[in-house]
């Protein structure tokens, strides 16, 4: 599986998590839920976005290596 495919799976997982959290928040809306969101859910999005950017950069580097080296790798 390519890096792009793994990145897509990670992105889909983040989208599912955020969607599911919206569903949970409709049932669980109190100070504890807001604290849980701030401590556990909210930090995930920028972290995953950073990881996806790094995956894209690594994929580009690997593609360039494959073009430069061809069958030598």
Full pLDDT tens readout for the chain, 73 residues = 788 899 999 999 999 999 999 999 999 999 999 999 999 999 999 999 999 999 999 999 999 998 999 866 4
Count structural domains, the chain.
1
Which distant-in-sequence residues (6+ apart) come within 8 Å of 2 by Cβ? 59
CB neighbourhood size of 7 (10 A): 19
Helix (H) or strand (E) holding 18: helix 3-27
Which distant-in-sequence residues (6+ apart) come within 8 Å of 48 by Cβ? 10, 11, 14
């Amino acid at each position: 599986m390519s890096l792009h495919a793994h990145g897509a799976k990670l992105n889909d997982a983040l989208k599912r998590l955020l969607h599911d959290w919206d569903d949970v928040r409709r049932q669980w809306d109190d100070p504890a839920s807001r604290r849980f969101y701030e401590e556990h859910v909210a930090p995930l999005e920028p972290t995953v976005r950073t990881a996806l950017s790094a995956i894209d950069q690594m994929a580009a580097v690997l593609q360039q290596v494959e073009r430069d080296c061809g069958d030598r790798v």
